[in-house]
Amino acid sequence: MKQPSARMSIPNLPPLDPLRPDTAATDEKEPSTVGLKRLPAEIRLMILEKAFLLDVPKKQATPASGRWLRGKAAWPSVCSEWRDFFERRNFASLRLTSADEIETFNKVCVQGGRMRLVRRVRLHVGLRRYFALEGSADPERADEVGWNNHVFSARFTRLMRVLSAWEPTGAGLTLEFSASSPSDEEFLPFRRLPDFPPEAPVPPFLCTPRVYDSVRLLGNLLDFRSSPPSPHYGGGPLGDGVDIELPEVRGVTRLVVDRGYYRSFSKDAVRSILKSFTRLEEVSYEPWRGREDSRDEAIDALLRELPDSVRKVALWEAARPEWPFSKPDRDWLAATAVEASRRLEFFSACFAIDARLFFRDYYRDADGAAPSPPGSWPKLASLALTSAALGRSAPGEEADRLLHAAGLAAERMPELRVLELWTGRDRGFVFRYEADGGRARLTVEATWQYALSGSVLAAWQKTAGALTGNRLEVEVNHIRDVDSGGSVSMCDRLRLGEAVRVQLPY
């Protein structure tokens, strides 16, 4: 049967009240001759879809009885069809921000048998307010750090205990985490986007921290503490140490810590969290760049402690271009990333690790001899990395050396389907290798005139022949300069763009 158009009109029908499905809203005394249940299923579905999008007050009086109903929350009680329709949508994605909401989630979803409807849970932890003078570079005080860790520990551990009681029978759950202080917005200037409503609250990810603000926002990572930092509770200035053991949680298959807020986990917290997720398959981790080693140590812990069930890891290090401190090379972090990626199907590390360090074992030595390091990537099908060597201001030979080394390494990736090396912080450049249906294609997109060297082409021709048995198709395109979005604009050009960077719901 042909599906009706979403814009089709329904002639000769009085307007229907979604709170009273069997009566017309224009006639309160007599039932409608055409009730909602008499309509074809396709039409009823269209009406429910429209009703779901309505902006309905939290409380609303029914015209006939004058009784107050709790808006959309009451609609599933109309009939079984409405219950199935609205509960599937209402419970698909939940945001928990307080201890009371976690307990309600436990009662309604876990104990109430609705976890089959839940696909995503976002836990947002509200941290303590703070006061910062204009131009101040003061980090968080010890008592502030302790209170924030205590609140984080209480919320996160309680949610883990609630989820541990759920025995999944089907698809897994995505758990998203974020944390922020109300003062993050109050003390930071922000850039309001053209389509951002003036009356809407400003999400912290739109704020533009000044250099000194980064000391407070990025100076401390959230850690587990068993008691608040107060003598009244027996804790020291930072609370008790890390002695919290999280329960096993089998239902979570994807963990997301996105760049929408500035706070992220410490290395010890990362280890504890990963140990609890025994069926984890995907990790998206997007911490903000800091001046210290603590964030890199947390990423290192994440890569080392990945459960064997994990197939996909996406790292994105967020940063502001106006911050003067740059990312130092971390050879040890790159080495950890290489080893972790050998057992994955998907790996991306954008701005967290430079591709030069990832492929360093495949660079030619001073004598020009081709390297042959041990190890391979037997499962890796998708790989995305960034590198400063691909920027316009970098020497041309740096890009050639990197692309040549990547070609040699790719020969050790028998399942490789897409490899993308790119940058967007110094103009724009994308190098893409694709293998599909026996075909192998190499595409370069750059905001300046760039030509592949003969050695790079030879290395990739050899790799394409080994992996697909066919010759390599090559295309080089000059593209217009990226707009002010920089890395965001170039990321949108990637085949793997939606996978390497979390799409924020703002």
Q: Which residues contact 170 (CB under 8 A, 6 or more apart)?
A: 116
- Predicted pLDDT of residue 20: 40
Q: Is the pLDDT assigned to residue 35 strictly greater than 60?
A: yes
Q: What is the pLDDT of residues 434-451, one digit of tens each?
A: 999 889 999 999 988 889
**Helix, strand and coil in the chain, % to nearest 5:** 35, 20, 50
- Together in a domain, 342 and 315: no
Task: Annotate 15-56 with DSSP letters as a single string.
Answer: PEETTEEEEETT-SSS--SS-GGGS-HHHHHHHHHHHHTS--
Percentage above 90 pLDDT, the chain:
45
Average of per-residue pLDDT values in the chain: 78
Q: Which residue has the higher pLDDT, 124 or 53?
A: 124
- Predicted pLDDT of residue 53: 66
Q: For the residues 91-100, what does the mean pLDDT come to?
A: 90
Residues 185, 207: Cα–Cα separation, whole Å: 7
Q: What is the pLDDT of residues 468-493, one digit of tens each?
A: 988 899 999 988 765 434 677 788 89
Q: Which residue has the higher pLDDT, 241 or 22?
A: 241
- Together in a domain, 223 and 356: no
Residues 174, 296: Cα–Cα separation, whole Å: 24
Q: Most confidently modeled of 56-65, 77-86, 352-361, 370-379?
A: 352-361
Q: Is the pLDDT assigned to residue 174 strictly greater than 50?
A: yes
- Together in a domain, 340 and 431: yes
**Residue 62 domain flag:** no
Q: Which of 63-67, 363-367, 392-396, 424-428 has the lowest mean pLDDT?
A: 63-67
- Predicted pLDDT of residue 229: 52
- Predicted pLDDT of residue 243: 59
Residue 147 structural domain: 91-294+307-319
Residues 112, 162: Cα–Cα separation, whole Å: 12
Q: How confident is the model at residue 177 (pLDDT cuts 50, 70, 90)?
A: very high
- Together in a domain, 493 and 453: yes
Residue closest to 280 by CA, chosen among 242, 306, 241: 306
**Residue 86 domain flag:** no
Per-position b or e across 390-415, b if 16+ CB within 10 A of its CB: bbbebeeeebbbbbbbbbbbbbbbee
316 forms beta bridges with 350
Q: How confident is the model at residue 358 (pLDDT cuts 50, 70, 90)?
A: very high
Sequence length of the chain is 506
**Residue 7 domain flag:** no
Query: What phi and psi, each to the nearest 5 degrees, are found at residue 151?
Result: -65, -45
**Residue 335 domain flag:** yes
Residues 23, 37: Cα–Cα separation, whole Å: 10
- Together in a domain, 348 and 313: no
Q: Any idea what DSSP says for residue 395?
A: -
Tell me the residue type at 140.
Answer: E
Q: For the residues 143-149, what does the mean pLDDT come to?
A: 89
Q: How confident is the model at residue 40 (pLDDT cuts 50, 70, 90)?
A: confident
Asked whether 146 and 235 are in contact (CB, 8 A), the reply is yes
| 3 three-class SS | coil
Residues 390, 388: Cα–Cα separation, whole Å: 5
Q: Is the pLDDT assigned to residue 416 strictly greater than 90?
A: yes
Q: Which of 75-79, 179-183, 201-205 has the lowest mean pLDDT?
A: 201-205
- Together in a domain, 39 and 144: no
Q: What is the pLDDT of residues 75-95, one digit of tens each?
A: 666 676 666 677 677 788 899
- Together in a domain, 465 and 500: yes
- Together in a domain, 358 and 290: no
Total domains, the chain: 3
- Together in a domain, 313 and 352: no
Residues 378, 413: Cα–Cα separation, whole Å: 6
**Residue 237 domain flag:** yes
Q: What is the pLDDT of residues 184-195, one digit of tens each?
A: 766 554 444 444
- Together in a domain, 436 and 468: yes
**Residue 63 domain flag:** no
Q: Is the pLDDT assigned to residue 32 strictly greater than 60?
A: no
**Residue 129 domain flag:** yes
Asked whether 316 and 351 are in contact (CB, 8 A), the reply is yes
In the chain the first and final C-alpha atoms are separated, in Å, by: 37
Q: What is the pLDDT of residues 261-282, one digit of tens each?
A: 888 999 999 999 999 999 999 9
- Together in a domain, 214 and 349: no
- Predicted pLDDT of residue 326: 59
Q: Which residue has the higher pLDDT, 241 or 274?
A: 274
CB pairs under 8 A, 24+ apart, for 444-450?
A: 444/475, 444/476, 444/477, 445/477, 445/479, 445/493, 446/476, 446/477, 446/478, 446/479, 447/392, 447/478, 447/479, 447/480, 447/481, 447/482, 448/392, 448/478, 449/478, 450/399, 450/476, 450/478
**Residue for token digits 């069926």?**
279
pTM for this one?
A: 0.80
- Together in a domain, 111 and 210: yes
Q: Which residue has the higher pLDDT, 194 or 136?
A: 136
**Residue 333 domain flag:** yes
Q: What is the pLDDT of residues 298-321, one digit of tens each?
A: 999 999 999 999 999 999 998 766
- Predicted pLDDT of residue 23: 39
- Predicted pLDDT of residue 71: 60
Q: For the residues 405-418, what does the mean pLDDT come to?
A: 96
Residues 346, 330: Cα–Cα separation, whole Å: 22
